[in-house]
A and B are shown apart, each in its own frame.
Chain A
Amino acid sequence: EAQVTQNPRYLITVTGKKLTVTCSQNMNHEYMSWYRQDPGLGLRQIYYSMNVEVTDKGDVPEGYKVSRKEKRNFPLILESPSPNQTSLYFCASGQVGEKLFFGSGTQLSVL
Chain B
Amino acid sequence: QKEVEQDPGPLSVPEGAIVSLNCTYSNSAFQYFMWYRQYSRKGPELLMYTYSSGNKEDGRFTAQVDKSSKYISLFIRDSQPSDSATYLCAMSDYKLSFGAGTTVTVRA
Listed in ascending order, the chain A residues whose CB lies under 8 Å from chain B are 4, 33, 35, 40-45, 48, 58, 88, 90, 92, 96-105, 107
Q: Is the CB of B42 within 8 A of A42?
A: no
Residue B98 lies at the interface, judged by CB distance under 8 Å to chain A? yes
**Contact check: which of A58, A96, A105 meets B42 at CB < 8 Å?**
A105
**Contact check: which of A4, A41, A100, A107 meets B96 at CB < 8 Å?**
A100
Please, how many residues of chain B have a CB less than 8 angstroms from a CB on the other chain?
A: 22
Kindly list the 5 A-B residue pairs having the minimum CB-CB distance in the complex, ordered from nearest: A102-B43, A42-B100, A43-B98, A99-B46, A102-B44
Between B43, B92, B93, the greatest number of chain A beta carbons within 10 A of the residue's beta carbon is seen for B43
A interface majority secondary structure: strand
- Chain B residues positioned under 8 Å from A45 (CB to CB): 95-96
Give the complex CA separation of A40 and B99 in angstroms: 10
